Structure 1
């Protein structure tokens, strides 16, 4: 099977939610079945698994407290603006 059909397109579009286990069981089974039959999509899946694992291992630093506080302040500011703009 070549990696060009609609099954490939659907599998690749949903690859990240499949990797993160954030997809319903029926779709998960469908994608897994496709990966079992399509070596090109399976290779893409394995590549994304490796990248995800590498990023997970590399992102262990914690932001400095002043930066975290500044980001949280900005988030709260936007939340307040959204609440005051709502009808």
Structure 2
């Protein structure tokens, strides 16, 4: 998705990191770049608004459910592996699950 106009921050970069922006999991300087981009690019702003609405809906509908500790540990372990660049090997006990 792109408005077809050149931007300092490319639309693909914004869309690739949209959830990091929504969750405020990026440096303030990057957040500022994204905010500037949204001011210039209505298709990206529209996508941001849609994803923000979905996130709020999910939080409202599912935000009260407790996550089992073992599931949380597995997910966080996978995230750590991905961030470190190591391949995430799947234990045989998890074959066929949707987390892999």
TM-score (norm: length of structure 2): 0.58
**Is 1:31 aligned with 2:46?**
no
TM-score (norm: length of structure 1): 0.66
In the alignment of these two chains, the number of paired residues is 70
Deviation at 1:13, TM superposition (A): 0.8
Structure with more contact order per residue of length (Cα contacts < 8 Å, sep ≥ 6): 1
In the TM superposition, structure 1's runs of 4+ consecutive aligned residues that sit over 4 Å from their partners are 3-6
Greater C-alpha radius of gyration = 1
What root-mean-square deviation, in Å, do the aligned CA atoms of Structure 1 and Structure 2 show? 2.8
Cross-structure match for 2:65: 61
Cross-structure match for 1:45: 48
Gaps of 5+ in 2: 75-100
Write 1 or 2 for the structure with the bigger share of helix.
Answer: 1
Cross-structure match for 2:25: 22
